Structure 1
Amino acid sequence: MLFKQPVLIFITENHGSYVAYVQLCKSHSLSKYILLLGKEEKSAKPNFTARVDGKFISLVSLGSDGCVYETLVPIYSSDTENNQRLVRALMLKTVVSGSARNGSALTILDQDHIAVLGPPLPASKECLSIWNIKFQTLQTSKELPQGTSGQLWYHGEILFMRHGKSLTVIPYKCEASSLASALGKLKHTQESGSHSVPHFVNWETCSEYELGSYSAKQTRTLRKKTETNLHPEVPGVKELLSIIKKDSEKHIEVELRKFLAKSTPDFHTIIGDIVSGLLGRCKVEPSFYPRNCLMQLIQTHVLSYSLCPDLMEIALEHTDVQMLQLCLQQFPDIPESTTCACLKLFLSIGDDCLRDSNVSMESVFDYGDTTQDEKKEMEEQTEIVQNGFGPEDGGCSKDSQQLNKKPGDTAQEPISFPVTLCPVAPKRAALLNAVLHSAYSEPFLLPHLKDIPAKHITLFLQYLYFLYLKCTGSATMTLPGVSPPTVSQIMDWICLLLDANFTVVLMIPEAKRLLLNLYNFVKSQISIYSELNKIEVSFRELQRLNQEKSSRGLYSIEVLELF
């Protein structure tokens, strides 16, 4: 895009001669440029990428010699009659092996960084490298042992590439290009008789090598100056992963706390690797369960289910309801099968286990005995009308009236919806609220809801009915709390449970009264909305009449009767 105008760039090749075309879509202007490449490009086709830089297009190519070249292509051609010739300039030297014919690619990340795909040496495996073109430095690299197809894309600070038979997605955000960020990441060529220098040089810890014009003595001085502000004892990613494989849980927790205090550019990927290392050891050693470490990593808010799919599975095995609640609150991509597995656990776990668990209670309001006075007041009333439903309404069935009669009473009692006590404990309610907030797709969720035992389905329906009564008893139709369930969430889950288990619930004697209450309550709500629609239509008519009066300038008195 150039000033919100689409620009199309395409390149043709004919017997080693390359031509670049620039098409301005709105003005239908087409410019043609001949690219003067090296003679070696006739045997291997270069890989191109481009970006708009002012009035020029920076056309970057990866040559067959492993070097990166740049060609500046004018957007607006001064000579449209003749084919203009453009010469390329060297940008980076030997970033990939010159013998690599396939699997090499590159893409521009920003004005100072590019990503290159290919083996750095003739005998090495393919890897993804991030280069700083301003300071000619290697920022980071990642080895790809399964090979690639030579396709690389970058969009929205995410790199996409083919790795083996799968599509690999790597989040990467470029740092601000500065000399400070480039220090310690210089790519050095090894000379005969010199010491072996790694690709990544840590300027804070290195003191035995001569790097550029710095001697070992100067490097020691630099290290002394920076040691006051830096913490060289903080482990790196590789050191932390090796600690995870063999050390105790307490030591891992201490080292992880140090590591999390240090910011890193590719934070999402590193956290995913650390979680994978912890979960891998959990599978090998059943007694190893670093709960505190996993809780720290979840609270970084960078994890998702797809990044660590085994995390919730292991938490279910250890009945860790606190971790499951945290995952349900933060992970946006939990499969419906896992959500139902959490629901089964929350409904079946004993009260003793819940009493000892540390569960977040933000979504739960006070479930105390404040409803006793309301219940007493309802019993004293001779006629109860709630949400538009009263005993004179002919909507209630004979069976439901019989169920609401007390033994020995000869007179028929009115049907009411008393506000009962919560059927579950507050901690269980907080866990169930986490399930209500989770995302789902109805076709995938319904089959898994059929596997829940009938008594647990009845308990969950009773809790949902209790929440719905609390909502409808409020003028705002909302529940108190920080993040309580909404009316739509409550009603959706009631419908889901009844759709999946209606026949089973119908056969349970304990659930018959609940079903009748739900049926009568829905009928009363339909009656309310019907009356509200009539009032809405009447008010619209009033508004229309008022508009006509103002336009005519007449005065009149009218009476509207609402039926």
Structure 2
Amino acid sequence: MAALEEEFTLSTAVLGAGPEGFLGVEQSDKADQFLVTDSGRTVVLYKVSDQKPLGSWSVKQGQSITCPAVCNFQTGEYIMVHDNKVLRIWNNEDVNLDKVFKATLSAEVHRIHSVQRTEPLVLFRRGAARGLEALLAEPQQNIEAVIPEEEVIRWSEVFMLFKQPVLIFITENHENYFAYVQLCKSHTLSKYTLLLGKEEKSVKPNFTARVDGKFISLMSLSSDGCMYETLIPIYSSDTEKNQRLVRALMLKAVVSGSARNGVALTVLDQDHVAVLGPPLPASKEYLSIWNIKFQTLQTSKELPQGTSGQLWYHGEILFMLHGKCLTVIPYKCEVSCLASALGKLKHTQESGTHSMPHFVNWETCSGYERGSYSADQSRTLRRKKTEATLQPEVPGFKQLLSIIKKDSEKHIEVELRKFLAKSTPDFDTLIGDIVAGLLGRCKAESSFYPRSCLMQLIQTHVLSCSLCPGLMEIALEHTDVQMLQLCLQQFPDIPESTTCACLKLFLSDTIQDEKKETEEQTEIVQNGFSPEDSSCSTDSRQLNKQAGDATKETIAFPVTSCPVTPKRAALLNAVLHSAYSEPFLLPHLKDIPGKHITLFLQYLYFLYLKCSGNAAMTLPGKSPPTVSQIMDWICLLLDANFTVVLMIPEAKRLLLNLYNFVKSQISIYSELNKIEVSFRELQKLNQEKSSRGLYSIEVLELF
């Protein structure tokens, strides 16, 4: 899901938006500060959280800014171009732009691109590009012409790929569009012709793009109101040949086909795009967020004052000209997956942890065919056809796959470490191929189980269950509970059948194993666990000491100690945090034996008492489960196994306690509902009153 939060307006006293809006809104080296360049003479630095300008700089009367100001992230300085060729560099302490560094260039500049981890890149109007440092060393150097005179650059962007800047820009020549891709370090340039249907030609070009594996996914809005996608190879085997690329339909009718102004789009993440424009003919303009994976409209906001057709995004903030004011709209986009669409997805994430891993790109998987989406099928065919001519992204990848097929586990582990050390985090499909190679050999050779290699790959935080199908099944066969715990903590798309299989395994550990762990606390690693494992903290071991004889499968209530050992508690907590959908989970819960269900219910009830009793949480695992998760799982277990649990004598006292627990929850929510209704009524009364500038204090007493 996605949501647009409450909008607010930045001060526009020093800004002058022209008929086509502003030149640009760019991020500074501070997360909350942005450079806004108007269409005339002024650049303003805003602090968004304070909604006020921190600095303002203007060129002299008669001069005009022709390139949006950007920040050099390596130095913290600001850069812009006025009168097409004059480059200025300044910082926060400078007051007068006429007195800052100045360099007159030999060719006209289209714009300057600045991204993190590299120097700014200057793109000239004839298609040549130069790094800022090389340009400042010789400002009057000869700038070659890359594109013909009749071609005009309509859109450009820079991406970082494997620590290398990749520049893409789109040109137009009499309604014919071309895409140029330049690898800045290797200085290779590829040209592509974008083939558009007669009914698809854009009245006003609107482009946005993202990196999608070995391709740049270029998205555009056309005059028919639909969104199209073109896959542009980043690496080409023939840089001289003008290759032709056909675009495919991505979304239908996202804006009105009759719209001519106020239309724009920008990609927010791998699954969401923001669209500016009227959804229906003669309707008012809207800002909308679409999910391109499930092709659904997520949220929209009406813009009654109209827009200029410009849309910028930085972080989780959208900028646009609403009426004559620069408007800021914060937004939120959740992870796009079936778990969030159909069921429950874990929303909480600890600070300092890695982001959600990517989902598999189904079009790149061999043997997978879709039967319903022609656009996806054509995209798959285009991708496979183009991939044959691409250069390898990461050196040593094919050699590693060859080593996996025949060498020893120790040699594979050494080579894998070398491969991971020289690769970047943006290689999830390669990691998926490596895991597939390891799992394929595991199935072919029963004695082959490269546990250390698989753990390394899981800890890259780029895998998901759909990207490495079969991994958790292999871990279940080897009862590798530590690997299963790690998968449960990191994979957001685990099938409910696999989740229940893990739960069944965690609950079926023998009592003798638990007693041995509790009494001896040896250093021997058993099923991937040792007493020093990070999942069982010092607090967890203290909990184990408090448990007494807590290893028994049944206990007397009320619960005063944990009914399971810290190791098993950490594993069960991982299950509680995993994503699931109730209709798919319930049938599998019925296959778990009754005594294990009873034990799990006892543990859940113990967690509820700990959470609701304001006691210090000393539960194992990275994060303790929430009350909501505990209640949901209690309901699931009782829905699936109530008759079975009812027939177990040891569970009668447990059911009675759960009954009292449910009654207390109903009572609490009933009182909370009354308080909510009271607050709503008070809010209505306050809205009806007119303050008229008076100051008053009201004391409300709730009984």
TM range (shorter): 0.5 to 0.7
Aligned residue runs from structure 1 range 363-512, under 5 A: 367=543, 418-474=558-614, 482-512=622-652
Structure 2 gaps of 5+ residues are 1-19, 22-167, 180-189, 205-213, 220-229, 251-266, 271-360, 371-376, 384-388, 518-525, 549-555
Shift of 1:271: 1.0
Amino acid at match of 1:166: E
**Aligned with residue 535 of structure 2, among 361, 385, 392:** 361
Q: Deviations over 1:494-548 (max 9, x none)?
A: 0000000000000000000000011112223323443454555566677778899
Shift of 1:474: 1.3
> What does residue 39 of structure 2 align with?
none
Contact 2:172/2:178 (CA < 8 Å) preserved in 1? no
Contact 1:336/1:444 (CA < 8 Å) preserved in 2? yes
Contact 1:419/1:470 (CA < 8 Å) preserved in 2? no
> What does residue 216 of structure 1 align with?
none
Q: Structure 1 residues 456, 526: closer, same or farther in 2, change over 3 A?
A: same
Normalising by structure 1, what TM-score? 0.52
Normalising by structure 2, what TM-score? 0.43
Q: Structure 1 residues 290, 272: closer, same or farther in 2, change over 3 A?
A: same
Q: Structure 1 residues 461, 257: closer, same or farther in 2, change over 3 A?
A: same
> What does residue 273 of structure 1 align with?
433
**Aligned with residue 470 of structure 2, among 302, 306, 310:** 310
> What does residue 236 of structure 2 align with?
131
Q: Structure 1 residues 58, 367: closer, same or farther in 2, change over 3 A?
A: farther
Contact 1:419/1:466 (CA < 8 Å) preserved in 2? yes
Distance 1:161 1:288 in 2: 27
User: What secondary structure sits across from 1:484 in the alignment?
Assistant: coil
User: What secondary structure sits across from 1:278 in the alignment?
Assistant: helix
Is 1:328–2:446 an aligned residue pair? no
Is 1:339–2:499 an aligned residue pair? yes
Shift of 1:475: 8.1
Amino acid at match of 1:236: G
Distance 2:544 2:496 in 1: 33
Q: Deviations over 1:476-507 (max 9, x none)?
A: 99979752101111000000000000000000
> What does residue 245 of structure 1 align with?
405
Contact 1:437/1:489 (CA < 8 Å) preserved in 2? yes
Amino acid at match of 2:597: I
Distance 2:425 2:679 in 1: 59
Contact 2:573/2:621 (CA < 8 Å) preserved in 1? no
Aligned residue runs from structure 1 range 108-187, under 5 A: 109=217, 130-131=235-236, 135-136=239-240, 160=363, 166-167=369-370
**Aligned with residue 59 of structure 1, among 177, 197, 200:** 177
Distance 2:391 2:688 in 1: 80
Amino acid at match of 1:361: S
Amino acid at match of 2:403: I
Shift of 1:421: 0.7
Contact 2:544/2:565 (CA < 8 Å) preserved in 1? no
Contact 2:617/2:624 (CA < 8 Å) preserved in 1? no
Distance 2:431 2:696 in 1: 74
Distance 1:201 1:559 in 2: 69
Structure 1 gaps of 5+ residues are 5-49, 62-66, 78-105, 117-127, 139-149, 174-186, 188-198, 203-233, 373-403, 405-416
> What does residue 348 of structure 1 align with?
508
Q: Deviations over 1:155-185 (max 9, x none)?
A: 9777948977715898x99xxxxxxxxxxxx
Q: Structure 1 residues 130, 109: closer, same or farther in 2, change over 3 A?
A: farther
Q: Deviations over 1:135-159 (max 9, x none)?
A: 5499xxxxxxxxxxx9978997779
Amino acid at match of 1:498: L
Distance 1:561 1:255 in 2: 67
Distance 1:555 1:137 in 2: 76
- RMSD (CA atoms): 5.1
Q: Deviations over 1:42-98 (max 9, x none)?
A: xxxxxxxx995479755359xxxxx98748999779xxxxxxxxxxxxxxxxxxxxx
Shift of 1:303: 1.1
User: What secondary structure sits across from 2:177 in the alignment?
Assistant: strand
Amino acid at match of 1:493: W
Distance 2:620 2:169 in 1: 52
Amino acid at match of 1:271: I
Contact 1:367/1:426 (CA < 8 Å) preserved in 2? yes
Aligned residue runs from structure 1 range 275-290, under 5 A: 275-290=435-450
Amino acid at match of 1:346: F
Contact 1:436/1:489 (CA < 8 Å) preserved in 2? yes
User: What secondary structure sits across from 2:543 in the alignment?
Assistant: coil
Count, aligned residues: 359
> What does residue 89 of structure 1 align with?
none
Shift of 1:265: 8.8
Shift of 1:110: 6.0
Aligned residue runs from structure 1 range 69-84, under 5 A: 70=193
User: What secondary structure sits across from 2:562 in the alignment?
Assistant: coil
Higher helix share: 1
Moved more, 238-247 or 489-498: 238-247
Which is higher, the Rg of structure 1 or of structure 2? 1
Higher relative contact order (CA 8 A, sep 6+): 2
Contact 1:436/1:493 (CA < 8 Å) preserved in 2? yes
User: What secondary structure sits across from 1:59 in the alignment?
Assistant: strand
Amino acid at match of 2:535: M
Contact 1:362/1:481 (CA < 8 Å) preserved in 2? yes
User: What secondary structure sits across from 1:349 in the alignment?
Assistant: coil
Amino acid at match of 1:425: T
User: What secondary structure sits across from 1:166 in the alignment?
Assistant: coil
Distance 1:244 1:452 in 2: 37
> What does residue 418 of structure 2 align with?
258
Amino acid at match of 2:543: Y
Q: Structure 1 residues 53, 477: closer, same or farther in 2, change over 3 A?
A: farther
Q: Structure 1 residues 58, 346: closer, same or farther in 2, change over 3 A?
A: farther
Shift of 1:549: 9.6
Distance 2:470 2:643 in 1: 35
Distance 1:312 1:301 in 2: 15
Contact 2:194/2:247 (CA < 8 Å) preserved in 1? no
Moved more, 449-458 or 479-488: 479-488
User: What secondary structure sits across from 2:422 in the alignment?
Assistant: coil
Higher strand share: 2
Q: Structure 1 residues 132, 459: closer, same or farther in 2, change over 3 A?
A: same
Distance 2:702 2:395 in 1: 79
Distance 2:481 2:650 in 1: 28
> What does residue 92 of structure 1 align with?
none
